[in-house]
Amino acid sequence: MTDYFLEFYKGLDRQGPGDDKYTELAFRLLEELPSSPRILDIGCGTGKQSLVLAALTPCEITATDIYDCLLEKLKENARNQKLKGTIKTLNASMFDLPFEDEEFDVIWSEGAIYIMGFEKGLQEWKRFLKPGGYLAVSEISWIRKEIPDEIFSFWTTAYPEMNFVTDKIKAIENCGYRPIAHLTLPEYGWLENYYCQMESLRENFLGRFGHIEEARMIVENELDMEMNLYRKFKPYYSYVYYIMQKPA
C-alpha cells in the first residue's frame, strides 16, 4: 500500500517550517565546541538543517530518521554539495536510539521533538550529550496571549503539549539544562520555506493520486487547512528554536 503522506512529504526540502539562516544563528550560539564536533540530528527528514550545519563547520553529523527514502534524499544532496563536515545517515527511531551515553557534543532536532513530546525528548536525549554539550530543538509554541478559541482548540487537540515560550523554558530548567537562548521563526519560514513548496507539489500529487480519498485528505488537511489557519492566526504561534546546555 502506498504511504501517501510520505509520498507527498518526501518531495519537500524540509518536512516542517524552518529556515537556513535560523539554523545558522542557533548554531553560532554554541560556544567552545571542539574543532570537529560530533552532532546527532534526530528526526532529520531530508536533512536541510544537517546540510547547513555541515556547511558551517568540519563536524561529524549522524542524521537519524525512520524513513529510508528521506535519508536517501539527504545522502544525494550531501554528495552534490561542497561541505566542510561529514554526514552519516542512520535509520533509527528517536524512541530507541542506538548510541552510548555522552557520545555527542551537540544534539539537533528541528520540528521533530513533538513526536516524542517536548519534555520526554529533553529527558531521554540528555544522556547522549557530553557534559557541557548542547541541545537545540525547534518546537511549535504560543508566542502571544489571549489566543482565539478556534486556533487554540485546533492546536491543543493536534498537540496537547503545545505551550507558551516561558513554559517551555521552565521545562528546560526542570529537565536539568541551562537555557542559552530562544529564537522565534519568522513568517517567511512558514510561508515561503514550507507552505509555498507544498503548494508547488500540489497539482502533480493530485494528478497522480487525486482519485484516492486518503491522498486528497492529506492535501486538504496538511496544506489547505493548516496554511489557512496559519495565515489567519500567525501572530499567535510559531516554531521557536530553543538552545540549551547540559551542565558540565
Within a domain: residue 2?
Answer: no
Hunting for cell 512558514 — which residue is that? 190
Q: How far apart are CA 185 and CA 195, in angstroms?
A: 14
Domain hosting residue 80, numbered range: 18-186+236-245
For the beta carbon of residue 111, count every other beta carbon within 10 angstroms. 21
Contact 42, 107 (CB under 8 A): yes
Within a domain: residue 145?
Answer: yes
Within a domain: residue 230?
Answer: no
Helix (H, G, I), strand (E, B) or coil at 237: strand
Instruction: Give the sign of the dihedral formed by CA 81, CA 135, CA 132, CA 99.
Output: negative
Contact 147, 126 (CB under 8 A): no
Within a domain: residue 148?
Answer: yes
What single-letter DSSP state applies at residue 80? T
Q: How far apart are CA 112 and CA 108, in angstroms?
A: 10
Within a domain: residue 116?
Answer: yes
CATH of residue 76's domain is 3.40.50.150
Within a domain: residue 125?
Answer: yes
Longest dimension (CA), the chain: 56
Per-residue pLDDT of the chain (248 residues; tens, 9 = 90+): 458 888 999 999 999 999 999 999 999 999 999 999 999 999 999 999 999 999 999 999 999 999 999 999 999 999 999 999 999 999 999 999 999 999 999 999 999 999 999 999 999 999 999 999 999 999 999 999 999 999 999 999 999 999 999 999 999 999 999 999 999 999 999 999 999 999 999 889 999 998 899 888 888 877 789 999 999 999 999 999 999 999 99
Hunting for cell 553529523 — which residue is that? 61
Within a domain: residue 13?
Answer: no
Q: What does R_g of the chain's alpha carbons equal in angstroms?
A: 18
Within a domain: residue 218?
Answer: no
Domain count, the chain: 1
For the beta carbon of residue 136, count every other beta carbon within 10 angstroms. 26
- For the chain, what's the residue count? 248
- Measuring CA to CA, which residue among 183, 168, 27 is closest to residue 105? 27
This prediction's pTM:
0.95
- Measuring CA to CA, which residue among 105, 76, 229, 103 is closest to residue 158? 229
